[in-house]
Amino acid sequence: MDATTKKRRHDDTRAGAEDGGSRCDFRILNAVRQIIRAADIDSRKLAADHQVTAPQLMCLLAVVEKGSATATDIAERIHLSPSTLVGVLDRLEGKGLIRRVRDVEDRRRVEVTVSDAGRVLASETPFPLQYSLDKALKQLSDRQRQRLATSMERLAELMGARETEPAPMLEIIAVHKRQRRIARGTR
* More confidently predicted of 108 and 146: 146
Q: Cα(100)–Cα(176) distance, rounded to whole angstroms?
A: 26
Does 97 have pLDDT greater than 70? yes
62-90 per-position pLDDT tens digit = 999 888 899 888 988 888 888 889 999 99
Distance separating alpha carbons of residues 105 and 102, to the nearest angstrom:
9
Q: Is the dihedral of CA 72, 78, 82, 86 positive or negative?
A: negative
Distance CA 6, CA 31 (A): 19
What is the C-alpha to C-alpha distance for residues 46 and 118, in angstroms, rounded to an integer?
15
Alpha-carbon gap, residue 59 to 127, rounded angstroms: 12
Percent of the chain whose predicted confidence (pLDDT) is above 90? 32
State the pLDDT confidence band at 22, using cuts at 50, 70 and 90: confident
Strand, coil or helix: what is 46? helix
Q: In this model, does residue 16 exceed pLDDT 50? A: no
More confident residue, 91 or 19: 91
Mean of all residue pLDDT scores within the chain: 81
Indicate the SS3 state at residue 179: helix
User: Angle CA(130)–CA(177)–CA(128) in degrees, nearest 5?
Assistant: 20
Contacts of 99 (CB under 8 A, 6+ apart): 93, 112, 113, 114, 115
pTM of the prediction? Answer: 0.61
CB 151 within 8 Å of CB 97: no
3-state secondary structure 62-123: HHHHHCEEEHHHHHHHHCCCHHHHHHHHHHHHHCCCEEEEECCCCCCCEEEEECHHHHHHHH
